[in-house]
Amino acid sequence: MIFDKRSLLLFASNVLLLHLMLLINSSITIAGFNLFILGPMFIIAPLYLRADQFFITTVLTGFWVDAALPTPFGLVTLLMLTIGSFILLIRLRFRAEKNFHPSLLAHIANLITGATLFYFSVSNSFSDFFILLSTSFIELVASHLALLFIAPWFFNFQRTLFSIFETKTEPESLPFV
């Protein structure tokens, strides 16, 4: 197939997750911290799609996230392509049809992305480094606790979209297709 419908479904579900994260963050601003839940966006596309479809989905999602977040433009896209390419190369080692491996990968991707974005946000002002570090640590712990519940729901939601729209529900068998 020239174009896989699953790439559009994954893009739409990633946009929904970003929108929900921004809604949650706007409602908890009174608490003084934000949740960072971008990890699940990185996972299902490299586990389920061929390399070309993965690239299309990742670039579209990455640009959408870069436009929505106050980060240097292209940073999240570059992180998504790097982490996703690594997962794509070793995806035969993971069981994509269950939630344990994708959830574990989502936590790792979330940690890497959060640390990278923290580094780029602090690199301009080292005077408030320890205040930002303590706040970021609290945000990191809260985000990963929320990710324990959100990641399995999100992966099941994406697989349900595959079955609702009558697309292929199992992952591609080889990483170099």
pLDDT tens per residue, range 16-47: 999 999 999 999 988 878 899 999 999 999 99
Can you give the residue ranges of every domain in the chain?
Answer: 5-164
- Average of per-residue pLDDT values in the chain: 88
User: Rounded to two decimals, what is the model's pTM?
Assistant: 0.89
**98 near 131, Cβ under 8 Å?**
no
Cα torsion for 158, 86, 149, 119, to the nearest 10°?
A: -130
Nearest to 5 by CA among 53, 62, 58: 53
**80 near 146, Cβ under 8 Å?**
no
**81 near 45, Cβ under 8 Å?**
no
Least confident of 71-75, 98-102, 154-158, 170-174: 170-174
Least confident of 48-52, 162-166, 171-175: 171-175
Residue 132's pLDDT band (boundaries 50, 70, 90)? low
Question: Could you give the CA distance from residue 77 to residue 82 in angstroms, rounded to a whole number?
Answer: 9
Residue 71's pLDDT band (boundaries 50, 70, 90)? confident
